[in-house]
Amino acid sequence: MTSRRPALTLKSPDDLVAAGLVAASRRGEIEKIAARYAIALSPAVARLIERGDPADPIARQYVPDARELVRDPAEDADPIGDALKSPIPGVVHRYRDRVLLKLVSVCAVYCRFCFRRETVGPGAGALSAADFAAALDYIRARPEIWEVVLTGGDPLMLSARRLAETTRALAAIPHLRILRWHTRLPVAAPERVSRAMAEALTRGHDKTVYVALHANHPRELTREARAACRRLIDRGVAMVSQSVLLKGVNDDADTLEALMRAFVETRVKPYYLHHGDLAPGTAHLRATIAEGQALMRELRRRLSGLALPTYALDIPGAHGKVPIGPAYLAPRPEGGYDVADPEGLVRRYEDRVAREGSRGRGEPMESRGDSASRA
């Protein structure tokens, strides 16, 4: 294979062959996948791929694989049930205090494991003006909605002007306090995360703006990606991360540790490590929950709480997201708990509190079990 470095987004099987990302003998295989799912590798992402390494963790996220056309019976085109919780176009209302607003269905890159892979792609377009107005009405009519999660696709694909208009419209809703944008753009096209974009997200309102950055491997947090995050953060945006646990990409403790440290160094608080959703044709990229829990146990041993994400599962059928990290606590039949310390040793904890009315009558406060320093 060659090591040509593309300047344009790679979208077709021919592009991938020409860029040296797949052998010409695989062109037919890639064509079959391209007929089913969108393909895009931005220049920033294509540059990261180590040509000649069949196990490259960046390639695995973005370069199509024949196994995508193999569908496990448990997989579903809408694995987390967006459609079941969508009262009007573009809005997903799964939890009482927040809604998702899907502004666009395009992305700078198309990830092979995407849980919305059946709905994202270059032909899918954006929310119409009428649907956006209806979404605003929906939010305005529900004072319990405190947060809007702007998603897609990748909503930061919109121009700075459109982002400013969207921000202005949402910021005019008094009970909405948090505007949270979910994006892969600082990794996929860091040059597009400009000061103008940061201004568009933050200027002229008093809402709190979060950007949730999606990255799965420490190599994705390049100097340029970190600078893109800095442009947002320096303008007042708070950042959190989200990653997906992916076989052959980040399903080892060293990679996850490096990824979480890279987030924290970039001032991005690790937020979620998602268990891979049951999206069609993604079984080869999923780890098991037991593997994920073992990795989280090891991360807990190595990292401070600041660098630990929550390992979470979106329950199929729109039943919501729950933490599925390893359990450290087990009740004892006689009362109290067995609790595993970070090294895996089981300690006993007496769950004791003062009895009602015991204060001031000479009765001691009851012991709360072992004490430990919390570094």
Q: Which residues bind ligand SF4 (CB under 6 A)?
A: 107, 109-111, 114, 116, 120, 152-154, 184, 214
Per the CB < 8 A criterion, the answer to whether 61 and 214 are in contact is no
* Known catalytic membership, residue 277: yes
CA distance 82 to 92: 6
Nearest to ligand SF4 of 220, 251 (CB atom): 220
Q: How far is the CB of 47 from ligand SF4 (least distance, A)?
A: 17
Catalytic residue among 76, 114, 231, 269: 114
- Residue that has been written with the tokens 């400009």 in this structure: 194
Nearest to ligand SF4 of 17, 111 (CB atom): 111
List, in sequence order, every beta strand (DSSP E) within 20-113: 91-95, 98-102
Bridge partner residues of 209 (DSSP): 179
Catalytic residue among 56, 76, 82, 314: 314
Catalytic residue among 27, 247, 267, 321: 321
Nearest to ligand SF4 of 13, 276 (CB atom): 276
Quickly count helices (H) and strands (E) in the chain: 11, 12
Q: How far is the CB of 61 from ligand SF4 (least distance, A)?
A: 8
Q: Which two tokens stand for residue 45?
A: 């992402």
Catalytic residue among 62, 78, 94, 297: 94
* Known catalytic membership, residue 114: yes
Q: How far is the CB of 357 from ligand SF4 (least distance, A)?
A: 56
Other beta carbons within 10 Å of 187: 28
* Known catalytic membership, residue 15: no
Per the CB < 8 A criterion, the answer to whether 270 and 299 are in contact is no
CA distance 369 to 113: 45
Catalytic residue among 37, 56, 111, 269: 111
Contacts of 305 (CB under 8 A, 6+ apart): none
Q: How far is the CB of 251 from ligand SF4 (least distance, A)?
A: 17
Q: How far is the CB of 285 from ligand SF4 (least distance, A)?
A: 12
* Known catalytic membership, residue 229: no
Per the CB < 8 A criterion, the answer to whether 46 and 40 are in contact is no
Nearest to ligand SF4 of 118, 224 (CB atom): 118
Nearest to ligand SF4 of 13, 153 (CB atom): 153
Bridge partner residues of 110 (DSSP): none
* Known catalytic membership, residue 95: yes
Q: How far is the CB of 120 from ligand SF4 (least distance, A)?
A: 5
Catalytic residue among 51, 85, 98, 261: 98
* Known catalytic membership, residue 111: yes
* Known catalytic membership, residue 107: yes
Q: Which two tokens stand for residue 14?
A: 């021919």
Residue 272 belongs to what H/E stretch? strand 268-274
List, in sequence order, every beta strand (DSSP E) within the chain: 91-95, 98-102, 147-151, 178-183, 208-214, 238-244, 268-274, 310-315, 320-323, 329-331, 337-340, 346-349
Rounded to the nearest angstrom, the gap between the alpha carbon of residue 57 and the centroid of all alpha carbons in its chain is 17
* Known catalytic membership, residue 328: no
Q: Are strands 91-95 and 329-331 parallel, antiparallel or unpaired?
A: unpaired
Nearest to ligand SF4 of 90, 297 (CB atom): 90
Catalytic residues: 94-95, 98, 107, 111, 114, 116, 277, 314, 321
